[in-house]
């Protein structure tokens, strides 16, 4: 795994667009505003977003230096990657930036040779299919464990997780 910053750029519609992995450059307020209102991360607390970014390979999409998109990858850098939180702000949509962002992520040098990539989407199937994603072949299916209330229970409930050193409760 490389600690170097991955950068790619292009000019389109008279603007300079860049994608990079420099976490210091991310507009975390923009990312939080967008994700906390999204259907997939509604109510996302800022502290949880910070932890997610810290433990992911994060990609910022910029127009003339201002952030206009984001995505992150959770991976073991050997066999598997999960593409998450992909967005382009509404004012920049329709220019192929989402596809360019996903294709740039898939081309990242540290993410080559992975056997499986996963993502979840409600309404962007066409975008991801154009980037090579498909539904799993039957009879293969994914299961999930989804806690819909995790963001509404408060920080104290999230911090009270049992550690491995603690004994299991007797049932």
pLDDT exceeds cutoff 90 at 153: no
Position 161 confidence tier, pLDDT thresholds 50, 70, 90: low
Q: H helices of 3-124, where?
A: 28-37, 46-54, 97-106
Query: Could you report how far apart the first and last alpha carbons of the chain are, in Å?
Result: 43
Rounded mean pLDDT, 75-79: 97
Residues 2-7 have a mean pLDDT of 76
Of all residues in the chain, what percent carry a pLDDT higher than 70? 88
CB 122 within 8 A of CB 42: no
Structure tokens that stand for 109 in this block: 């040098």
Q: Pick the range with the lowest mean pLDDT from 35-49, 64-78, 134-148.
A: 134-148
Average predicted confidence (pLDDT) for the chain: 90
Looking at per-residue pLDDT, the higher value among 154 and 80 belongs to: 80
pLDDT, one tens digit per residue, over 80-132 is 999 999 999 999 999 999 999 999 999 999 999 999 999 999 999 989 999 99
What does the pLDDT average to over 147-169?
65
Q: Is the per-residue pLDDT at 13 higher than 80?
A: yes
Q: What is the pLDDT of residue 140?
A: 86
Residue 129 is predicted with a pLDDT of 94
Q: Are 71 and 41 in contact (CB under 8 A)?
A: no
User: Can you identify the CATH homologous superfamily of domain 7-159?
Assistant: Gcn5-related N-acetyltransferase (GNAT) (3.40.630.30)
How big, in percent rounded to 5, are the helix, strand and coil portions of the chain? 30, 25, 45
């Amino acid at each position: 795994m490389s600690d170097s910053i991955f950068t790619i750029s292009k000019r389109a519609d008279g603007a300079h667009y860049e994608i990079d992995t420099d976490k210091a450059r991310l507009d975390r307020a923009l990312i939080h505003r967008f994700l906390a209102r999204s259907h997939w991360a509604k109510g996302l607390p800022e502290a949880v977003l910070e932890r997610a970014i810290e433990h992911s390979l994060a990609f910022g999409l910029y127009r003339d230096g201002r952030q206009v998109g984001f995505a992150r990858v959770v991976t073991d850098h050997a066999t598997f990657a999960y593409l998450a939180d992909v967005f382009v702000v509404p004012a920049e949509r329709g220019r192929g930036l989402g596809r360019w962002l996903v294709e740039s992520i898939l081309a990242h040098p540290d993410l080559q040779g992975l056997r499986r990539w996963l993502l979840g989407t409600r309404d962007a199937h066409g975008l991801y299919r154009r980037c090579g994603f498909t539904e799993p072949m039957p009879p293969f299916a994914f299961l999930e464990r989804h806690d819909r209330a995790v963001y509404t229970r408060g920080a104290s409930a999230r911090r009270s997780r049992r550690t491995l050193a603690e004994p299991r409760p007797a049932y």
